[in-house]
C-alpha cells in the first residue's frame, strides 16, 4: 500500500468521527415559542368599545444596550385591536402626547427621532463602547423590540426577537469609533423604522402595534388620538400604562 492510499484510508475513517464530534459540540438554539398577540383590553387605562380596543404602554429601557429615554426620546407603545370589518386609521399628525401640566406634544417624525438619537451623548458612549470591545452586538442589545415583554397577556417579543437575535451577527466586529458609529446608525435607523406606528388603515379583525416617538423628559402620561373610520371621526384620551418590567421594579 502506497503512502497516498494509506492517508486516504485514514481520512475515510476519521472524517465521520470528526463530524460527529463537531456536531455534538456545536451550540443548539432554542426552538421558537408560541407568541400571543397582545390584548389591549387587559391593559390598565385602555379605551374599550364594541368596535375596537386601544392601549398605550410606556417605554422600559433594557438593562443593556441603547436607552432611548436618555437619547431624547420617549417611545410609547400603541396597541390597537380592530374587532370588526371596518378599516380604522390613526394618523401620526392627529396624535398628541399630554404632559403633567396639560401641555400637548406632537409625535416626532422618523427623521426627527433618528437625528435626536444620533446627536445624543448616549449614542456616542454606545459607539465608543462598541469600538472598545470590538463587537457592536455586545453593546446594542435587543432594542425596542424586547422592551415590553408581555402586555395584557400577549407576548410582543415576536418582533424584537428577530432583530435582537440578529444584532450580533448583523453588526459583526468594528475596528474604530467611526466604524462603530456608522454601523450603529444603520441599526438604530432600521430599528426605529421597523417598530414605528404604521398609519395605513387596519385590516378587518386585526391587532396592530407600533411606537409613537415623543420628546423625552417632558413627563408624558397620556395620549390623545383621532380614529378615522368611514364617515366617523372619534377622539380618545388614553392613559399610558406602565410596562410589566417597570411595575416589578417598584415593588
Quote the strand ranges of 99-231, DSSP E. 104-106, 150-151, 154-155, 207-215, 222-229
Opening angle at CA 34, ends 33 and 39, nearest 5: 135
Instruction: Name, in order, each residue with C-beta under 8 angstroms of 166's C-beta and a sequence gap of 6 or more.
Output: none
Q: Which set of grid coordinates corresponds to residue 174?
A: 468594528
Residues 159-175 have pLDDT tens digits of: 333 333 334 444 567 77
Q: Which set of grid coordinates corresponds to residue 68?
A: 432611548
Residue 10 domain-assigned (yes or no): no
If one counts the domains in the chain, the total is 1
pTM for the predicted model, two decimal places: 0.77
We report the CATH number of the domain holding residue 181 as 2.60.40
Residue 24 domain-assigned (yes or no): no
Do 155 and 208 touch, CB atoms closer than 8 A?
A: no
Residue 5 domain-assigned (yes or no): no
Domain range for 160: 33-244
Instruction: Name, in order, each residue with C-beta under 8 angstroms of 74's C-beta and a sequence gap of 6 or more.
Output: 59, 68, 97, 213, 214, 215, 216, 217, 218, 220
Residue 135 domain-assigned (yes or no): yes
Residues 78-135 have pLDDT tens digits of: 999 999 999 999 999 999 999 999 999 999 999 999 999 999 998 888 888 878 877 7
129 CB burial (10 A radius; 0-12, 13-18, 19+): middle
Q: Which set of grid coordinates corresponds to residue 136?
A: 457592536
Residue 251 domain-assigned (yes or no): no
Residues 198-243 have pLDDT tens digits of: 999 999 999 898 899 999 999 999 999 999 999 999 999 999 988 6
Residue 150 domain-assigned (yes or no): yes
Q: Which set of grid coordinates corresponds to residue 205?
A: 379583525
Residue 76 domain-assigned (yes or no): yes
Residue 65 domain-assigned (yes or no): yes
d(C-alpha 142, C-alpha 64), whole Å? 8
Amino acid at each position: 500500500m502506497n503512502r497516498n492510499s494509506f492517508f486516504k484510508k485514514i481520512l475515510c475513517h476519521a472524517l465521520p468521527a470528526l463530524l460527529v464530534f463537531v456536531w455534538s459540540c456545536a451550540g443548539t438554539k432554542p426552538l421558537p415559542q408560541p407568541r400571543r398577540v397582545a390584548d389591549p383590553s387587559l391593559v390598565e387605562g385602555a379605551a374599550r368599545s364594541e368596535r375596537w380596543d386601544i392601549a398605550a404602554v410606556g417605554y422600559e429601557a433594557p438593562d443593556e444596550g441603547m436607552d432611548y429615554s436618555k437619547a431624547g426620546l420617549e417611545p410609547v407603545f400603541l396597541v390597537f385591536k380592530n374587532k370588526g370589518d371596518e378599516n380604522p386609521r390613526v394618523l401620526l399628525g392627529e396624535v398628541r402626547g399630554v404632559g403633567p401640566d396639560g401641555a400637548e406634544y406632537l409625535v416626532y417624525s422618523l427623521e426627527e427621532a433618528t437625528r435626536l438619537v444620533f446627536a445624543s451623548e448616549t449614542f456616542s458612549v454606545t459607539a465608543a463602547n462598541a469600538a472598545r470591545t470590538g463587537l457592536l452586538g455586545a453593546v446594542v442589545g435587543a432594542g425596542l423590540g424586547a422592551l415590553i415583554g408581555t402586555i395584557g397577556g400577549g407576548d410582543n417579543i415576536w418582533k424584537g426577537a428577530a432583530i435582537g437575535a440578529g444584532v450580533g451577527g448583523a453588526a459583526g466586529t468594528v475596528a474604530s469609533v467611526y466604524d462603530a458609529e456608522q454601523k450603529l446608525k444603520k441599526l438604530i435607523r432600521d430599528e426605529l423604522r421597523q417598530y414605528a406606528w404604521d398609519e395605513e388603515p387596519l385590516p378587518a379583525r386585526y391587532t396592530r402595534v407600533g411606537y409613537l416617538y415623543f420628546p423625552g423628559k417632558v413627563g408624558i402620561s397620556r395620549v390623545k388620538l383621532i380614529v378615522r373610520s368611514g364617515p366617523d371621526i372619534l377622539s380618545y384620551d388614553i392613559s399610558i400604562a406602565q410596562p410589566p418590567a417597570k411595575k416589578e421594579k417598584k415593588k
